[in-house]
Chains A and B, each alone.
Chain A
């Protein structure tokens, strides 16, 4: 087997072990509630503006771009329905997860990496604190919980963006727009997309913490950890999305 293949297998094994350690240590007391809430604030609240702006633009642009094709087939009236299904099922969760992979994943990789390099993690250990629980468990749990909330917010804002997009060239009233949206959307669209966002959040937190926690010595190592955290987390988001679509399809929810 090539060195590259071997390295990928090794990394996958270590990441799996890291995830197992998260479950085994996360379930045992002492629970770090204060740090968990602090991380929820940083991951959730501090990402709100970025997610909201991106979601609004996403809804607006998708609507504007879709209009000419629908006009060509005389199906302009389907615009709110088509865009809302695309946004809720796929585009909003994946784009929000990718933004969070960039913002949260790199932040975790760089923060934990620099804490490793400057011996802050060792200092925590000699201070009677389990650094894995304090730093890793809280961050992964917060990312897992906050991402679905951010995606729901992104769903709502992107639909508002879409309403504006529909009315740039057309004339659809506020109530008619929402009737068309709710007419086409069902729990089969919303629930699977919501469930997969928990996995997106978990993957982003896991990879960010893994890369940072085992960062190699030196500033170069910190930079590399942050970079790898974004790349691997983004890739995992797509892989999870692919699996989620297959499972949803098998369950007949599409």
Chain B
């Protein structure tokens, strides 16, 4: 049976002044797929996933997430949709003034109805998310006390806390050593298998992309230049594609 399309981006345009970042970009992602978006720095990869969750407003085009038209949603509708989408930020975006526990509780308490929020429910969810990333012992620590790799994993735990259907990863391995990068890549795979999530991974890290992606989309000149598996793209004779694999 054909898998359902859960992310449908069609003919998106986004400019910042005279800088036309996305020009007629189109992509589709099916349920359970891990898609990597590859492109040069400043090519608009992060802008693309921020448009998908409407942290950036596209100038033109259509975006559907889980069969919902993202661009026509009001504030409440957008909040509801965002509770089903996790976003791992490039800089982790952990709240400096909160402990790990408070960081994890924050999206849970903001998205859920208060009546559902028993102490046991919150504690259970927090411990489950922390156990998934192997950092249950850091629950009462402050983000400043954690290493770069630990912060990334806590950010990933916070992304998981609402058990999202879709996860958007913005450069998940940037700034990490090769060993920690590999651990994060394996974590992305294990999360996908455990929760059957659909993911878009923005990265320059070829080993992360090779480990995690079912399919790669090449974002060049603001468009979807090519899309295929890692192996197919690696063997491509196209000069622009070869630059990334050589």
A: residues with CB less than 8 A from B are 114-115, 117-120, 122-123, 125-130
List chain B residues, Cβ under 8 A from A115: 96
Min CB distance A46 to B, Å, is 13
Are B107 and A125 closer than 8 Å at their CB atoms?
A: no
B53: chain A residues within 8 A (beta carbon): 126
Complex-state Cα separation, A62 to B87, whole angstroms: 57
Q: Which stretch from B12-20, B78-86, B238-246 is at the chain A interface? A: B78-86
Q: In whole Å, how far is B25's beta carbon from the nearest beta carbon of chain A?
A: 21
A-B contacts, 10 listed (Cβ < 8 Å): A117-B91, A119-B91, A122-B50, A122-B55, A122-B93, A126-B55, A126-B85, A128-B83, A129-B110, A130-B75
Contact check, A127 vs B91: say whether CB atoms are below 8 A apart: no
Contact assessment for A125 and B55 in the assembled complex, using a CB-CB cutoff below 8 Å: yes
- Contacting pair A118 B111 (CB below 8 A): no
Q: What's the nearest-Cβ distance from chain B to residue A38, in Å?
A: 9
Q: How many residues of B contact A (CB 8 A)?
A: 21
Among residues of B, the one whose C-beta sits closest to the C-beta of A122 is: B55
Residues of B within 8 Å of A128, CB to CB, are 79, 82-83, 107, 110-111
When distances are taken between beta carbons in the complex, the residues of chain A under 8 Å from B90 are 119
Name the B residues within 8 Å of A129 (CB-CB): 106, 110
Residues of B within 8 A of A118 (CB): 91-93, 96
Segment 40-92 of B: residues with Cβ below 8 Å from A = 50, 53, 55, 75, 79, 82-83, 85, 87, 89-92
Which among A114, A125, A128, A130 has the greatest number of chain B C-beta atoms within 10 A? A128
B93 touches A119 (CB 8 A): yes
- Considering the complex, give the chain B residue whose CB is closest to the CB of A130: B75
> Measured between alpha carbons, how far is A129 from B110 in the docked complex, in Å?
6
Decide: B82 and A126 in contact? CB cutoff 8 A.
Answer: yes
Select one of B75, B85, B93, B111 contacting A123, CB under 8 A.
B93
Give the complex CA separation of A117 and B79 in angstroms. 23
CA distance A114 to B95 in the complex (A): 11
> Nearest chain B CB to A83's CB is how many angstroms away?
41
A114 → chain B closest CB, angstroms: 8
A123 to B53, CA, bound (A): 11
**In the complex, what's the smallest C-beta–C-beta distance from A89 to chain B, in angstroms?**
38
A29 and B83 alpha carbons, distance in the complex (Å)? 20
| Assembly CA distance A37 to B75 (angstroms) | 26
A128 vs B86: C-alpha distance in the bound complex, in angstroms?
11
Cβ contact of A122, chosen from B75, B85, B89, cutoff 8 A? B89
- Give the distance in Å from the alpha carbon of A128 to the alpha carbon of B83 in the complex: 7
Instruction: Give Cα A124 to B12, complex, Å.
Output: 25
- Cα A120 to Cα B93 in complex, Å, equals 5
Q: A128-B79, A128-B107, A128-B111 are in contact. Are A123 and B87 (CB under 8 A)?
A: yes
Cα distance A127–B85 in the bound complex, in angstroms: 10
Given A120-B93, A120-B95, CB of A127 within 8 Å of CB of B55: no
Q: A122-B55, A123-B93, A126-B87 are in contact. List 6 more A-B contacts (CB 8 A).
A: A117-B91, A118-B91, A123-B95, A127-B106, A127-B111, A130-B75
Give the residues from 89 to 130 in chain B that come closer than 8 angstroms, CB to CB, to chain A: 89-96, 106-107, 110-111
Which of B89, B96, B106, B107 touches A119 (beta carbons < 8 Å)? B89
CA distance A128 to B92 in the complex (A): 17
* Chain A residues with CB below 8 A from B79, complex form: 128
CA distance A36 to B81 in the complex (A): 27
Given the known interface contacts A128-B82, A128-B83, the answer about A123 and B89 at a Cβ–Cβ threshold of 8 Å is yes
Q: How far is the CA of A123 from the CA of B50 in the complex (A)?
A: 11
CB-nearest residue of chain A to B83: A128
> Closest 9 A-B residue pairs measured CB to CB?
A123-B93, A127-B107, A119-B93, A128-B110, A128-B111, A119-B89, A128-B79, A118-B91, A129-B110
Distance of A129 Cα from B95 Cα, bound (Å): 13
